[in-house]
Amino acid sequence: MEKRLSRYIWKHTRAQQLWILLVVAVSMIPYFLSFDLPKQIVNGPIQGDGFDRPDATQTFMNINFDLPYIGNVELFSGLELTRMQMLFGLSLVFLVLVIINGLFKFYINTYKGRLGERLLRRIRFELVDRILRFPPTQFKRMKGAEVSSMVKDEVEPLGGFTGDAFVSPALLGGQALTALFFIFMQNVWLGLIAGVMVGVQAVIIPRMRRRLLVLGRERQITARELAGRVSEIVDGIGTIHAYDTSNFERADIAARLGRIFKIRYDLYQWKFLVKFINNFLAQLTPFLFYCIGGYLALQGQLDIGQLIAVISAYKDLPGPLKDLIDWDQTRQDVQVKYVQVVEQFSAEQIIDSKIQALSSDTAPMPAPLAAVNLTLADDSGARLIERVSVQIKHGETVAIIGGAGAGGDVLAEAFARLIWPESGKVTAGGEDILDLPESVVGRGLTYVSSDAYFFYGTLGENLLYGLKHAPLSERSYSGADATQRKWDVNEARLAGNPDYDTKADWIDYRAASATGADDIFPSLLEVLDTVQLSKDILDLALRTVIDPADHPELAAGIVEMRHALRDELEEAGLSGLVVPFEPGAYNIEATVGENLLFGTAVGPALAGKALGKNAYFRSVVGQSGLDRVLFDMGYSIAENAVELFADLPPDHPFFQQLTFMSADDLPYYQATLQKLKGRGYDAASEDERSSIIRLSALYVEPRHRFGLLTRELMEKIVDVRHQFYDGMPEELKGAIERYDPERYVASASLMDNVLFGRISQKHADGSKRIRSIVSSLLNTLGLLEQVLRIGGDFNVGAGGKRLTAVQRQKLNLARALVRGSEYYVFNRPLPGLDHRLQDEIVRDVMKLLRRNGREPALIWVLSNTGLSHLFDRVLVFDRGQLVEDGTPDTLAEKSGVFKELVSS
């Protein structure tokens, strides 16, 4: 990028700058004309110069030129007008000039604005483009938030300046000179006064503003650092909490804000001081005009019209002058900003843009992959591996093992171009991989390490992320969309941006062994099964609440599936595993409250605490006498709870089991029990009644096992349920969604809709078993794909933080396995998984990569050395050296490092 902003702007907007300068020059003509007009109006029709007699006339709008060689050319001979007609005529001309000037201004401002925005777009793109091409070491010293604040905020004023870079000095200078020239024309002495004052302003003010520039630069840097610190706090929040350093962070932020405040306050003080002096100097000139000009007019050496014209012309001088000085200030300011940003974005070894050129067809990565005399060093210069030479042939499976810091993992990083050689090189087919296009290396070699990064978006998008190399099929547009697309492409080109269509299909289906969006699912499922993530995704999906209107087919399928599930359970002898909701029966595994209400509240009228206060609900329960029964039941529950838990401290883990009250509620119930002493419903106050009835509403007999639910009570509850629905007033019908075996419950999760009942407490791992039955049933009914797609729509959050660490590692591996590559480099991708799972996944991954007769090379840096016997060849690293290389069997026979590592 150019060192000077003005040169950068000139390079990219030369033609437009020249055009706008021309327009500005043309706009000067009506501008100058409009200066002379007030004098003509005042001196002519108003004061009566040339209208000595009442019927005298003058020529209006005579247009003629004296051209050299041709002589006088008269375009319009003019009209003869009286004094009054002349006044209106000239005033109308004035109005027309005002409009013309306004239109010029409008055009110029719009044009400049567009010019500036295009340049801003260009700069921002160029900066991000550079980030994408930085060498890996650059990122060790960068704070993401600082860089993004540079791209977003710090270059912003550059765009605003662009339009003014050349136009403003021309326009404002022209205006100021015009005004000055005009004053000179009227009176040389007054012109001289104005000229001297302008000179004083032009010298003093920029000098005073130098300090403003220094402060501005400081403000920029401190604000950028603040952005960096805030994002550090967000990223490191776990560490801050863990070490109780939140107040240290507070102190740091407060200190920074204090510095920023001081800088900004200094800025204000200077800014307004400069403004004050500038204004004073500007107002000093008219003072001199009134004083001296008035004296001259009274002496008769200056006519009043002239004086008014001078003063009126002067009115137009301070404005442009002030703007000119402001422009100069802005120029210096943005120059400083530009230099700062360009410095931050310059790197010695920036990747050539040709290497990252867009390419939609893939050349295979040449074989073999080799490290040639490779030496790698860390940031401090310490050698990580030294002079390692190794060749990996097509189709080979290679395990890399070694202790911590042995160097195998950095070799893998070098294969992935994450660390650049200190000396030696990594080659593919004899060519340095850093010289090969990324479209070859980035597709031919798939790398996975344990630090997975996920982009904000859905799980599905992240899974397919590794396939988005180029827009593979053009998207066709029609109508307004086509116009928009055309505009997008055109504007992108004008700002030097690429015009790739983000809405096009970027997914390289062929690389995922599919032909399109319709048939990619089986291969994705295969990958998800391999890394054992499909179960997690299914669980995510089953916990999702979907709107049946959006997925009518699925909702209908789920309702149908309820019957199939019953049959399936019956067949497996597990019919007791789920107790279904039946409109005419009590569900023993659901709470008493759920059995009574038999639906989900969807409006505020019957939700939560409002239910107990709802008049209709109360009247139904009260008339049936159920309230008294539930009160007695709640009383027994309270007694049991107090007996069990009274002695335990409130933070005791056993309280988790107490689902119907919290540890904090216990003293209240203890006191209430003591007060009531078994005197029953009538002795209790309104509040006590509802708090005790609340306990029974949450009671589940098989879970709490207090033995309080009799057959009669269950029948009564079902009875009251019917009464509640039968007599329900119209206005409440929208507030509750009644359980209906034949309808999808919109407010419940997919799983709850499948089960349409409660899982029995009695069976061990009941929910685990039911999940596997549900999953296989979804598969046989052909609903699995739709359900998994819903799971795939799960938003993984910033950096994938909404997934567990294990899920992230699995997704990270899955994202790599989706891609078809010639080389797979796995650098301890699954450290968080237990050994059994690691073992299974490694075996399954090896099987998956060899499906359909493919033979990619696999390089796996193992954290579990016991798995090395699965590979053709083992590379053993020790202290930065490749110490052993051979088949696992031959290495096991030697008594070397391998034997030591595997046996330990």
Partner 1 sequence: MGTHMLLKDEVQMLRRVPLFAGVEPGKLKLLAFTSDRVSYDVGEALFQQGDAGDAAYVVLDGKADILVDTSSGPIKVAEVEKNSIVGEIAILCDVSRTATVKTTTSLEALRIRKDHFLKLLTDFPEITIEIMRVLADRLSHTTSELSEARSRARNPDQD
Strand duo 823-827 + 857-861: pairing? parallel
Least distance between partner 1 and beta carbon 642 (Å): 12
Distance CA 616, CA 247 (A): 53
Q: Write out the DSSP string of 587-648.
A: -TTS-HHHHHH-EEE-STTSSTHHHHH-HHHHHHHHHHTHHHHHHHHHHHHHHHHHHHHTTS
Nearer to partner 1, 265 or 654 (CB): 654
Name 896's Cβ contacts closer than 8 Å, sequence gap at least 6. Answer: 876, 883, 884
Least distance between partner 1 and beta carbon 626 (Å): 20
DSSP-based three-state secondary structure for 298? helix
Nearer to partner 1, 677 or 836 (CB): 836
Distance CA 215, CA 840 (A): 62
- Which token pair is 37? 């007009």
Task: Look at the alpha carbons of 6, 12, 15, 19 in this order and tell me if their dihedral is positive or negative.
Answer: negative
Tally of CB atoms within 10 A around 80: 12
Nearer to partner 1, 656 or 852 (CB): 656
Tally of CB atoms within 10 A around 692: 24
Tally of CB atoms within 10 A around 206: 16
Least distance between partner 1 and beta carbon 834 (Å): 6
Least distance between partner 1 and beta carbon 654 (Å): 4
DSSP-based three-state secondary structure for 254? helix
Least distance between partner 1 and beta carbon 830 (Å): 14
Nearer to partner 1, 356 or 640 (CB): 640
Distance CA 507, CA 415 (A): 25
Nearer to partner 1, 640 or 775 (CB): 640
Task: Please state, in angstroms and as integers, the Cα–Cα distance from residue 254 to each residue in 4, 221, 251, 257, following that order.
Answer: 36, 16, 5, 5
Nearer to partner 1, 487 or 654 (CB): 654
Nearer to partner 1, 507 or 842 (CB): 842
Contact 245, 283 (CB under 8 A): no
- Which token pair is 203? 């010298």
Residues at the contact surface with partner 1, assessed by CB under 8 A: 588, 643-645, 648, 652-654, 656-657, 701-702, 704-707, 711, 761-765, 834-837
302, burial (CB in 10 Å: exposed 0-12, middle 13-18, buried 19+): buried
Least distance between partner 1 and beta carbon 452 (Å): 21
Nearer to partner 1, 559 or 709 (CB): 709
Nearer to partner 1, 245 or 864 (CB): 864
Distance CA 530, CA 538 (A): 15
Nearer to partner 1, 521 or 706 (CB): 706
Least distance between partner 1 and beta carbon 637 (Å): 12
Nearer to partner 1, 136 or 866 (CB): 866
Nearer to partner 1, 723 or 761 (CB): 761
Least distance between partner 1 and beta carbon 768 (Å): 11
Nearer to partner 1, 604 or 653 (CB): 653
Strand duo 445-449 + 823-827: pairing? parallel
Least distance between partner 1 and beta carbon 655 (Å): 9
Task: Please state, in angstroms and as integers, the Cα–Cα distance from residue 87 to each residue in 47, 309, 423, following that order.
Answer: 11, 17, 87
Q: Computed over its alpha carbons, how large is the radius of gyration of the chain? A: 41
Least distance between partner 1 and beta carbon 836 (Å): 3
Nearer to partner 1, 277 or 644 (CB): 644
Nearest to 697 by CA among 822, 756, 612, 640: 612
Least distance between partner 1 and beta carbon 227 (Å): 41
Least distance between partner 1 and beta carbon 868 (Å): 16
Nearer to partner 1, 467 or 666 (CB): 666
Least distance between partner 1 and beta carbon 766 (Å): 9
Least distance between partner 1 and beta carbon 243 (Å): 23
Task: Please state, in angstroms and as integers, the Cα–Cα distance from residue 532 to each residue in 540, 715, 807, 825, 845, following that order.
Answer: 14, 46, 9, 20, 11
Write phi, then psi, for 886 (nearest 5 degrees): 175, -175
Name 846's Cβ contacts closer than 8 Å, sequence gap at least 6. Answer: 397, 858, 870
DSSP one-letter code for 111? H
Least distance between partner 1 and beta carbon 466 (Å): 30
CA atoms within 13 A of residue 150's CA, in its CB half-sphere? 25
Nearest to 881 by CA among 405, 380, 379: 405
